[in-house]
A and B are shown apart, each in its own frame.
Chain A
């Protein structure tokens, strides 16, 4: 249940602050979520799910603290106020989420661990889902997460937003984690729905908070612009049944104009602030802006988009960037050129987006058997239900028997 996940991470963020232990808070919230899964179907969803979960998690936390105290024969730390504390105000919850984000993204943890922890604690993803999102086997991910929790506890990684002087150095990890967070919301790695809008919304909220903390930082503004511009298409990306509507077929009047305007403003300022050394997020926002500015699919400025991808390649030359560039090249110079670029990347095992993009180009070239094979391979990989239905439709168009 998406609601439980989102409220769960908010309750967790506050409970980490009040108990001072990520481990304990995670256990307590997990217990509260299980209790809700058991109770709510019978009693209905409570009027304030967050208050319900907060109370349940606190009770469980107190229980765990007492049990640990009895086991070790020591006095329980004074958490007597835990049960009676008021349900925190929304601003406090936002601050707590930001604190949790900075704890997860502490530089003494590797970037991979930082993003995994953020997905676990801030998005409530399961270990298996995080493994899929980060292309790491589940067992490896489980080990990585438990090692990280232990390090946070014994090494004393603090639970606070760093001071102004430390902030810039702490930024890279936080931005990478937020970017992943948004991506998981934009295209869910599991579940039925294409979009987890609450997750994307959380990423946007955290971006805004970070921008308030660091208004002069172009990378933050760039990510905020990227999240706004990409997010502006949410409503148009789904049909009435929750099915995928690809960019070419979207009703552009359903794009969120206010988000686009705000995103363009941030992008303009960020671009002017990075004239010599382009930034990873500002450049990606520039690509998103090219789409946002096109009134129709046909009038899209593919030449500009390919150029921005060229800039992006100078910042980060990854197979995923090359894939996106190849898709743009297919629009600019035709599917043959795009396919040649795609095939130059080489295989990306387990990466469905490459298989899907390649099959789309093959289908456009009338190479139906190869396209169908690509769709079947993509369908064999995990993904969200909406994407799978979309792939099945594509497959059916190439191979009506399937």
Chain B
């Protein structure tokens, strides 16, 4: 069965490591409920610290070039993702629509390459 990445994009670079408002608390509860409901299709996922904690890495020959953040002015940032195993795109879309961030930000559904299955 195909697997999909549900990439979560939000505006404002939220910090989900600090749950300091009732709104965030409610959202965390929503994520908990989503995780429970989607348990059967869930193959993994993670929430990410804000982009202010990120490091960009490039390699140029032997030299490792690092820099701060992705892009300071990016309006929407990747804040987390789920890996879902679904029968088809419609099922993946239906689950993605239930991710709390689908209401406040957006979710990008991308098929995951299965290198074991050969090219399709």
Interface residues of A (CB under 8 A from B): 72, 74, 106, 108, 153-158, 162, 166
* Total cross-chain contacts (CB, 8 A): 29
B92 within 8 A of A: yes
B12 within 8 A of A: no
Asked if residues A106 and B89 are in contact (CB atoms below 8 Å), the reply is yes
With both chains docked as a complex, state the minimum distance between the C-beta of B114 and any C-beta of chain A, in angstroms.
10
Q: How many residues of B contact A (CB 8 A)?
A: 14
Asked if residues B118 and A108 are in contact (CB atoms below 8 Å), the reply is no
**Nearest B-chain residue to A158, judged by Cβ:** B88
List 12 additional contacts besides A156-B89, A158-B90; criterion CB under 8 Å: A108-B89, A108-B93, A154-B113, A154-B120, A155-B89, A155-B109, A156-B2, A156-B86, A156-B111, A157-B90, A158-B89, A162-B90
Asked if residues A157 and B118 are in contact (CB atoms below 8 Å), the reply is no
Interface residues of B (CB under 8 A from A): 2, 86-90, 92-93, 109-111, 113, 118, 120
Asked if residues B111 and A154 are in contact (CB atoms below 8 Å), the reply is yes
Determine the chain A residues whose CB is within 8 A of the CB of B113 once the complex forms: 154
Selected contact of A72 from candidates B87, B93, B111, B118, CB within 8 Å: B118
Give the distance in Å from the alpha carbon of A108 to the alpha carbon of B118 in the complex.
24
Asked if residues B120 and A157 are in contact (CB atoms below 8 Å), the reply is no
With both chains docked as a complex, state the minimum distance between the C-beta of B41 and any C-beta of chain A, in angstroms.
13
Determine the chain A residues whose CB is within 8 A of the CB of B109 once the complex forms: 155
Asked if residues B118 and A74 are in contact (CB atoms below 8 Å), the reply is yes
Give the distance in Å from the alpha carbon of A188 to the alpha carbon of B64 in the complex.
61
**Nearest B-chain residue to A71, judged by Cβ:** B118
Determine the chain A residues whose CB is within 8 A of the CB of B120 once the complex forms: 153-154
Give the distance in Å from the alpha carbon of A162 to the alpha carbon of B93 in the complex.
13
Give the distance in Å from the alpha carbon of A166 to the alpha carbon of B97 in the complex.
13
With both chains docked as a complex, state the minimum distance between the C-beta of A278 and any C-beta of chain B, in angstroms.
30
13 contacts between A and B (CB under 8 A): A108-B89, A154-B111, A155-B89, A155-B109, A155-B110, A155-B111, A156-B2, A156-B87, A156-B89, A156-B92, A157-B89, A158-B88, A158-B90
Determine the chain B residues whose CB is within 8 A of the CB of A74 once the complex forms: 118
**Nearest B-chain residue to A170, judged by Cβ:** B90
Determine the chain A residues whose CB is within 8 A of the CB of B110 once the complex forms: 155
Determine the chain B residues whose CB is within 8 A of the CB of A106 once the complex forms: 89
- Name the residue among A74, A108, A155, A162 with the largest chain B CB count within 10 angstroms: A155
Determine the chain B residues whose CB is within 8 A of the CB of A158 once the complex forms: 87-90
Determine the chain A residues whose CB is within 8 A of the CB of B93 once the complex forms: 108
Give the distance in Å from the alpha carbon of A72 to the alpha carbon of B111 in the complex.
21
Determine the chain B residues whose CB is within 8 A of the CB of A156 once the complex forms: 2, 86-89, 92, 111
With both chains docked as a complex, state the minimum distance between the C-beta of B83 and any C-beta of chain A, in angstroms.
15
Asked if residues B88 and A157 are in contact (CB atoms below 8 Å), the reply is yes
With both chains docked as a complex, state the minimum distance between the C-beta of A354 and any C-beta of chain B, in angstroms.
40
Give the distance in Å from the alpha carbon of A154 to the alpha carbon of B87 in the complex.
12
Give the distance in Å from the alpha carbon of A108 to the alpha carbon of B111 in the complex.
13
Give the distance in Å from the alpha carbon of A153 to the alpha carbon of B89 in the complex.
10
Give the distance in Å from the alpha carbon of A145 to the alpha carbon of B111 in the complex.
19
**Nearest B-chain residue to A106, judged by Cβ:** B89
Give the distance in Å from the alpha carbon of A154 to the alpha carbon of B120 in the complex.
7
Give the distance in Å from the alpha carbon of A162 to the alpha carbon of B113 in the complex.
26
With both chains docked as a complex, state the minimum distance between the C-beta of A229 and any C-beta of chain B, in angstroms.
35
**Nearest A-chain residue to B118, judged by Cβ:** A72
**Nearest B-chain residue to A107, judged by Cβ:** B93
Give the distance in Å from the alpha carbon of A157 to the alpha carbon of B93 in the complex.
10
Determine the chain B residues whose CB is within 8 A of the CB of A162 once the complex forms: 90
**Nearest A-chain residue to B1, judged by Cβ:** A156
Determine the chain A residues whose CB is within 8 A of the CB of B89 once the complex forms: 106, 108, 155-158
Determine the chain B residues whose CB is within 8 A of the CB of A72 once the complex forms: 118
Which 6 residue pairs spanning A and B have beta carbons closest together? A158-B88, A156-B88, A156-B2, A156-B89, A155-B111, A72-B118
- Name the residue among B2, B90, B93, B110 with the largest chain A CB count within 10 angstroms: B90
Determine the chain A residues whose CB is within 8 A of the CB of B118 once the complex forms: 72, 74
Determine the chain A residues whose CB is within 8 A of the CB of B88 once the complex forms: 156-158
